[in-house]
Amino acid sequence: MTPAATTLAAAATGHGFLSPTGVEIAFLLVGLATLGAAVVTVTTKQLVHAALWLVVALGGIAVEYLLLTAEFIAWVQVLIYLGSVVVLLLFGLMLTKAPIGRSPDADSNNRWVALGVALVAAAALVWVVVDAFRTTWIDLDGPVQGSTKVTGEILFQHWVLPFEALSVLLLAALIGAIVLSRRDAAAGSEDTTKGQQR
C-alpha cells in the first residue's frame, strides 16, 4: 500500500474530510450567519442599521479566525475593524447628519449590476486564492501559523505599506466627515441669521 493510500484510508476512518467535527460545523454555521449579515448590510435602506449589521459581519469573521486558531488575527479584527472602522463609520454618519430612518435615496436601483460585479469579483478572488495556494502545505511541525510571532513578522516585513495606507485613508475619512459637518453647520447658521434679520 502506498503512503498516499495509507493517508487517505486514515482520513476516511478518522475525523477527516468526509466526517465533520464540531469545529467544522461551527465554522460553517458562523460562516452562513456572517454571509447573511453581509447581505443585509448591503441591502438595507437604513444607514445606521447597515453599520450595525456590518458589526455583526465583522464579528463573525473574528469568530471564524478564532475557530481557525488564529487568535492574534481575531483580536486584530476586533480592535481595528470593530473598534476603529465601524466607530469611524458611525461617527461620520452622526457628523454628516445622515437620516436615522429609511433612506429611499440610498438605493440607486442598480442591484443587478452590483450583484453581477460582486459575483465576478468573488469568482476572481476565489480563483486567485486557489491558484496561489494550490501547492502550499502547512508545516504542522513548525511554528503555529496564527501565532503572534509569525503574524508580526509577515505583517511588518511584507504588509507595512498597505497597513499604513489604511491608517491614512481612515484619517482622511475622519477629516472629511468633520469638514462636511462644519460646512452644514455654517450653512445652517447663515440661514438662521438671515431669517432673524427679516
Q: What is the pLDDT of residues 86-130, one digit of tens each?
A: 777 777 777 766 666 666 666 667 778 888 998 999 999 999 988
Chain-centroid distance of CA 120 in Å reads 18
Ranges 28-32, 136-140, 173-177, 186-190, most confident: 28-32
Look at 27 and 96; give whichever has higher pLDDT. Answer: 27
pLDDT tens sequence across 173-196: 778 777 776 766 566 555 555 555
Which of 69, 45, 39 lies closest to 57 in space, CA to CA? 39
Lowest mean pLDDT among 4-13, 146-155, 177-186: 4-13
Distance from C-alpha of 121 to C-alpha of 113, rounded to nearest angstrom: 12
- Helix 148-158, helix 160-197: angle, nearest 10: 70
Which of 188, 69, 189 lies closest to 140 in space, CA to CA? 69
b/e burial code for range 67-105 (CB count within 10 A of at least 16 → b):
beebebbbebbbeebbeebbeebbebbebbeeeeeeeee
Going from the C-alpha of 63 to that of each of 31, 34, 72, 75, 112, the distances in angstroms are: 9, 10, 12, 10, 31
Distance from C-alpha of 189 to C-alpha of 131, rounded to nearest angstrom: 58
Predicted local confidence at residue 84, as pLDDT = 76
- pTM of the full structure: 0.59
Cell numbers found for residue 71: 487568535
| Structural contact between residues 41 and 8, judged by C-beta atoms closer than 8 angstroms | no
Distance from C-alpha of 183 to C-alpha of 179, rounded to nearest angstrom: 6
Angle (CA) 145-8-17 rounded to 5° is 55
